[in-house]
Structure 1
């Protein structure tokens, strides 16, 4: 697993560098709250896809470190982040990769994504509100755009994936109970702890999906050679169902 992880990480970092090179550079600007910082002022969908890819790259490394440290509750939260960000990459990339219809929900998503948290220098006087595109709408678009057989079943599968690890983010009781070993709550968990072993078993699937999302992002940004490279690495490391191939 360690060798496959290192190879996958290198492929994603190379893709990151190439995607970054084809985009307009961030500019150092003053935000609505009066603070200064780097921003993509053009607010292009390709820039949103790239930034979501950066979040995936961070989350997959966080997941690996948290699993190695036995912090399964936080690992579950990272899995939830990867589930959500991955579906957002698919949602944003579809019009550019598949020629799917660019809908009003894409404009709504981009407006909210690039929106600053505060619009007043005194944050207590800020009137900014977020109007997020619902997960249901994103799932529905993905099902239509990628047209994977039974639409109803595919939608339900995406909903289950979205919901499985939500409790780790929101601190649901049932999810926190995974830290209990039958005698006491142990943080971090020992490597023999059953829920932690289950998470370790799922890590290759999350690595595979992260790479697939990176490949999709590269293609959406017109980095065809990099897309082909990431995809070749995927087929070298993983079987068609996303399971890790035996490494020599």
Structure 2
């Protein structure tokens, strides 16, 4: 499975490089007395590009910690990947379906907001960045995607999945106890490769690689890149076959 995951992540990076070439112009701008790299365009299309960069990088990190057997840390990364994928779909649907609203504008305002007025004085110039409720984003997606389930049920399922993985982010007791076991029983603070957790987390990583591939598909449609759309669909079909999966569109 890891070889397939690595190949899919490599593929997503190649697609990302194509997107980057078309949208990724960057300039050095002054923030206080420091110059930092920032995109020339600060719009929805570029926000999607940056989210894709985060997703590819985080997938590589998740694959690395999976190979090392640090499954609790894999869950941390997967929670972040899941949220980034959610953001991509939220932005893509809003723009593509003409349902973009005030929530999208607030999201983008928060996304592009600088953390500090002066990087050399982070305490004195820290800004309170605006925030957008994750519940509202999920509610938007539930209304847009809840075709087979009613939107309320779709949102509840998403909320449960989010909360489950948030326990790893916030180091909740039940989630920490996942690393307890062995002979003799104790907290396994090193690698869990070779334990009963291995198959579970190897298989779970598929979900995040696959969802990320769908985010790239949505982005390709947003960017009007029919060639990439067809290539991603072909790669997706081959990946599903390799994993013995068949999903309905």
Q: If the length of structure 1 is used for normalisation, what is the TM-score?
A: 0.90
1:41 alignment partner in structure 2 = 40
| CA distance in structure 1 between the partners assigned to 2:204 and 2:126 by the alignment | 42
Q: What root-mean-square deviation, in Å, do the aligned CA atoms of Structure 1 and Structure 2 show?
A: 1.8
Q: Show the 5 A alignment for 1:51-70.
A: 51-70=50-69
Partners in 2 of 1:34 and 1:197 — Cα distance?
Answer: 50
Of 206, 209, 216 in structure 1, the residue corresponding to residue 208 of structure 2 is: 206
The alignment partner of 2:41 has SS state of coil
**Contact kept in structure 1, 2:114 and 2:129, CA below 8 Å:** no
Which residue is 2:233 aligned to? 231
Find the counterpart in structure 1 of residue 175 from structure 2. 175
Which protein, 1 or 2, shows the higher relative CO under an 8 Å CA cutoff with sep ≥ 6?
1
Q: Which moved more, 1:215-224 or 1:70-79?
A: 215-224
Q: Deviation at 1:24?
A: 5.0
**Within 2, Cα distance between the matches of 1:8 and 1:40?**
27
| Contact 2:27–2:38, Cα closer than 8 Å, also in 1 | yes
Aligned length: 241
TM-score computed with the length of structure 2 as normaliser: 0.90
Name stretches of at least 5 consecutive residues in structure 1 with no aligned partner: none
**CA deviation string 1:41-80 (max 9, x = no partner):** 3211010001101111011111111111011121110110
- Deviation readout 1:78-129 (Å, 9 max, x if unpaired): 11011111100110111333x1311111111111111111123422212410
The answer to whether the 8 Å contact 1:70/1:187 transfers is: no
State whether structure 2 residue 136 is matched by structure 1 residue 137.
yes
Deviation of residue 20 (structure 1)?
0.8
Deviation at 1:245, TM superposition (A): 2.8
SS in 1 for 2:36: strand
Does structure 2 retain, via aligned residues, the 8 Å contact 1:181–1:193? Answer: no
Structure 2: gaps (5+ residues): none
Give matches, 1:14-29, under 5 Å.
14-29=14-29
**Matched residue, 2:102:** 104
Tell me, what secondary structure is at the counterpart of 1:28?
Answer: strand
Q: Distance in 2 between matches of 1:160 and 1:231?
A: 29
The 5 Å alignment of 1:64-103 reads: 64-97=63-96, 99-103=97-101
Q: Which residue of 2 aligns with 1:218?
A: 220
